[in-house]
A and B are shown apart, each in its own frame.
Chain A
């Protein structure tokens, strides 16, 4: 019983992390029509930058949440730079854009190894969340509960942003029909930069938030990118609701697959992605951005 409960809660927590990672991925994919293969790198870079802010390598030690926000902003700036300096040059050439993101992910992984060394860095749980919630003999770490809450808060905030703000309306228009959006006077190129930065920032934020659970280590990028891909393909590109549902589904498949079918864990993880691509290419919630 405890086993099932623990796995279920963990699946939801992991789903929450995946949502933070993949919401931006999905928006970028929906708007620019490319899978951003540096998204895993942004997650990892965010985590590394966060550890530097936390660990005092930059000369001072910050509160966890402040550090997480600063790391997210830093990664967002990196994302904006990448969009401006590289992807912009290749506007309209999707294939070239995908390849560039792949190349940059190679570079980012090596730069992190250079900057932070190969040692795994563990991130301390923020002290006020270090405790447990005890239910029925099982202990659930408070921090993991908090992650679920954060994911929900971000989901609502993103929803409000897309639904209620002018920026959100422009993004929705761009995802629906980029040509039409341009015709009605939306500066699509500027929008690309904003969304790319937003997605990168979210990924970086997810990276440092996941630090106390996953810790930070070389190769984290390659562990996370395929998961984000599965989420977005399952949920449908450009769909916020899709990323949310997809994240929870993948969280469950990932956790229960590892525990119950260890030999086929990756098979059951990627099979739904293939099935969706083949049978319902737009994803479960494709075409519905919210």
Chain B
């Protein structure tokens, strides 16, 4: 599989050290070209669809990572936000409205729900934040599940068409992959800009030193609020991609398990890194869809992977891999005695 992990250079933590802007640009270009080439390199449509799923879940994980990784706020209710956008789109399409209206309304509803989540959850941090988001996520799930007259309950809502941007049909798997890829690249770009911006720096400051940030005159709550909104925007986008991808939405997509899987993507890949969530999304989607064809007990495996990563590689796969290569590199060049172990400064979720 053409994994984007092949170019860990885009990781901000590493790029500072490799230094060369040119090298990085080349690496990014190679990665993007590889992603564009995926549907042409892969023979079977099935794997193109898997690749689309990886990208759409990567957008979800990128959004969740803004909160988990950069703001240090762990949400277990993001599937609810994902679902709000998806349900609004499906509901409006089923009611006969057009795609443009449905998508805009889906984004708007996702953002309104996010604002509600943020207003309630940001009163707390740490475990309480987890619990509030979990409860809010369960409320949304409960509505999707039981508010039958609107949501259809377990029967879900079917969507029979995909939008045709600029007259291009997205019905074919490869076309849908291309569209998802564009959205994905925009999302990665947006997160990269966000993280590098002064606002992103301030957000990381609120994660590591909230009191000091407050003393320095930053409005910690507002910074967190806007980070939450940005996270919600990406999550809503992912929800809309999801509903167009499956052409169906039902309460299972909003369940606590779905939120937990999102968190698993972020944590396993590496919270607080740009590439981590993408790698994590790939890992989870592949285990769920591809590995499950060979191993019946894939749920067990997913849980075991999760536990193993938290216990043995708590920083996640991407920073973990970087650390391992770095230490190998360093032991090789130890004689020159240049650098100290820089990998120790790899960003970590709040602990």
Contact = CB atoms under 8 A, between A and B. Distances in A.
Interface of A: 33-35, 86, 89-90, 92-96, 98-100, 102-111, 114, 222, 226, 229-230, 233, 262-267, 269-271, 273-274, 277-278, 281
B307 A233 contact: no
A273 B135 contact: yes
A267 B140 CA distance: 8
B262 to A, nearest CB: 12
B128 interface: yes
A98 B304 contact: no
What's the dominant secondary structure at chain B's contact region? helix
B131 A96 contact: no
Given A90-B310, A110-B297, 15 more contacts: A94-B127, A95-B350, A100-B311, A103-B307, A106-B302, A106-B303, A110-B300, A226-B256, A233-B135, A263-B147, A264-B147, A266-B139, A266-B142, A267-B143, A270-B138
A49 to B, nearest CB: 18
Nearest to B128: A281
A226 B139 CA distance: 11
17 contacts: A35-B131, A100-B306, A103-B264, A103-B307, A110-B297, A229-B134, A262-B146, A263-B146, A265-B146, A266-B138, A266-B139, A267-B142, A270-B138, A274-B136, A277-B128, A278-B123, A281-B128
B276 interface: no
Nearest to B130: A98
A94 B297 contact: no
Contacts of B311: 86, 89-90, 96, 100
Q: Which of A103, A222, A263, A281 has the most CB of B within 10 A?
A: A103
Contacts of A226: 138, 256
A274 B120 contact: yes
Given A99-B263, A103-B304, A110-B303, A94 B128 contact: no
Interface in B293-307: 297, 299-300, 302-307
A265 B128 contact: no
Contacts, number: 125
Contacts of A230: 135
Nearest to A279: B123
B127 A105 contact: no
B43 to A, nearest CB: 32
A100 B143 contact: no
A48 to B, nearest CB: 16
Contacts of A271: 139
A105 B146 CA distance: 25
Interface residues of B, number: 44
B351 A95 contact: yes
B258 to A, nearest CB: 12
Interface centre among B135, B147, B349 (most CB of A within 10 A): B135
B82 interface: no
Contact of B74 (A86, A95, A266): A95
A267 B297 CA distance: 33
Given A96-B351, A263-B148, A265-B146, A281 B124 contact: yes
A101 to B, nearest CB: 9
Contacts of B128: 277, 281
A37 B98 CA distance: 42
Interface in B318-347: none
A99 B149 contact: no
A33 B300 contact: no
B306 A229 contact: no
B71 interface: no
Contacts of A98: 74, 127, 130
Given A270-B142, A274-B139, A277-B128, A99 B310 contact: yes
A160 B351 CA distance: 36
A204 B302 CA distance: 24
B91 interface: no
Interface string B210-253: 00000000000000000000000000000000000000000000
Nearest to A94: B127
A83 to B, nearest CB: 14
B314 interface: yes
Nearest to A106: B303
Contacts of A94: 126-127, 351
A111 B149 contact: no
A95 B350 CA distance: 8
B132 interface: yes
- Which 5 pairs show the lowest CB-CB distances between chains A and B? A266-B142, A106-B303, A103-B306, A107-B303, A110-B300
Contacts of B299: 106-107, 109-110
Given A35-B130, A94-B126, A110-B297, A277 B135 contact: yes
A104 B297 contact: no
Interface in B119-178: 120, 123-124, 126-128, 130-132, 134-136, 138-139, 141-143, 145-149
Contacts of B147: 263-264
Contact of A107 (B141, B304, B350): B304
A15 to B, nearest CB: 19
B297 A114 contact: yes
